[in-house]
Amino acid sequence: MTRQRVAFVSHVGYETYCHRDGSPFLHPDEFDITLLARPCDIARVTPGQVSRCIPVDIDDRVEFTASLSELVGGAGFDWVVATHERMLLAAARLRDALGAGGMGTEHTLLLRDKVAMKRHFSARGIRVPEFMEISEPLQAAELLDKFGRIVIKPVAGAGSVDVHIVRDHDELIALQRRRLTGFDRYEAEEFIAGRQFHIDSVVSNGVAVAVSVSQYLDSHEDFPLDGQIRSHTLDDGPDLELLQGFNRAVLRCIPWFSGAAHLEAFLDDHGRPVFCELAGRPGGAGVKAAFQYRHGISLLLASVLPQVGRDVPHGGTQARRDQAATGWSMIYPPLLGRWRGYDALPQADWLLELTTPYRPGDLVKPSTQSVDAVAIATVCGRDSREVVDRLAEVKSGISVSITPE
């Protein structure tokens, strides 16, 4: 049997793309894998799982995008796989350049470029915030006058990086003086007052086969010391039904898409759903662990399989009915300085996952993106109230040592 040739662009170790028994999503008997990843991740690859490794600086956004085609050289590939937000467009362009199967640049832009996606969904009847593309903050002055509060963010941003809520002209002028320098393109949009949600789905040709609807409990445009960003799944009720229907309407606008989808949406002060943005990849933070617990489906597997021409998974062992609610929290450091260690960490059967990324000697700097956390916790419970209580218990049970510098 001729193996399918796959260029696999990864932001994490390849062991992440394995089933619980340790076997890879893409079995080496069927797939000839060329892995493009950080050298430190390449060093951990299990022998025999991939055929070739190419080190790449995926943290340099500009260099990574420009160099991907050069790195693979004249090699031919049947498929190109990427699951991280910042890699999706580069992977799509590589597919186009190589004539590989999968989603090309035209469709990927609608799930990555915040201006292109709002135009696409608005034209198909989905309510989106009023928006405009800008190159400097003062260009949004009329939008600020109209709505009294606006959001300015990168068109291709991720992880809540460089997001600014502007409440008056003094703040707009201050932002103009600081300048927007992190990205090439920015957009300004009306601020939607109300509650924000994320809706995570496994999607087959524009139809969700599994869905979780969750509400954010905290603002996530900044990441204060000793703060947190929390989320919990919705209990049964009108809000859940409304947002499930909204998710179906959004997905009908992309009938060509299969994979993992992460929709951010609002219910405004009148209880009406409003589109924020849609990503064609698994959600971050504790989303993947919570989703797998609830539905028995790996969002990573659901993202990878359609990129190699396979169907998304449709089911698995689901959560206990008496503990079906889930939630997660990203917990930020209590102070800045030199990391010494975790003195105490909580343990409980309802604690589904606890990620602790810091290592002794690391420098704890001000958090600039949502994932700059000392811990990411995922829990389950009977309902949203118990989930929120358990998230608080996790936070209070974490003790760390940091030496100020």
Residue-wise pLDDT tens digits, 95-137: 998 899 999 999 999 999 999 999 999 999 999 999 999 999 9
Q: What is the DSSP letter of 226?
A: T
Question: How far is 25 from 16, CA to CA, in rounded Å?
Answer: 9
Q: What is the pLDDT of residue 370?
A: 83
Which residue, chain included where needed, has tokens 């007052």?
193
Distance of CA 375 to the CA centre of its chain: 17
Q: Which amino acid is at 57?
A: D
- Spatial contact of 263 and 255, defined as CB atoms under 8 Å apart: no
Residues of the chain with CATH 3.40.50.20: 4-105
This prediction's pTM: 0.94
Judge whether residue 176 has pLDDT over 70: yes
Strand 351-355 relative to strand 375-381, pairing: antiparallel
Judge whether residue 187 has pLDDT over 90: yes
Judge whether residue 72 has pLDDT over 90: no
The fraction of the chain above a pLDDT of 90, given in percent, is 80
- CATH of range 4-105; options 3.40.50.740, 3.10.150.10, 3.40.30.10, 3.40.50.20: 3.40.50.20
Residues of the chain with CATH 3.30.1490.20: 130-190
Alpha-carbon torsion (12, 251, 203, 101), positive or negative: negative
Judge whether residue 183 has pLDDT over 80: no
Judge whether residue 64 has pLDDT over 80: no
DSSP string, 69-100: HHHHTT---SEEEE-SGGGHHHHHHHHHHHT-
Q: What is the DSSP letter of 394?
A: H
Q: What is the pLDDT of residue 56?
A: 87
Residues of the chain with CATH 3.30.470.20: 194-403
Q: What is the mean pLDDT of residues 138-163?
A: 89
Question: How far is 43 from 142, CA to CA, in rounded Å?
Answer: 52
Q: Identify the CATH number of the domain defined by range 194-403.
A: 3.30.470.20
79: Cβ–Cβ under 8 A, 6 or more apart, which residues? 4, 5, 6, 7, 95, 100, 101, 102, 307, 308, 309
Q: Identify the CATH number of the domain defined by range 130-190.
A: 3.30.1490.20
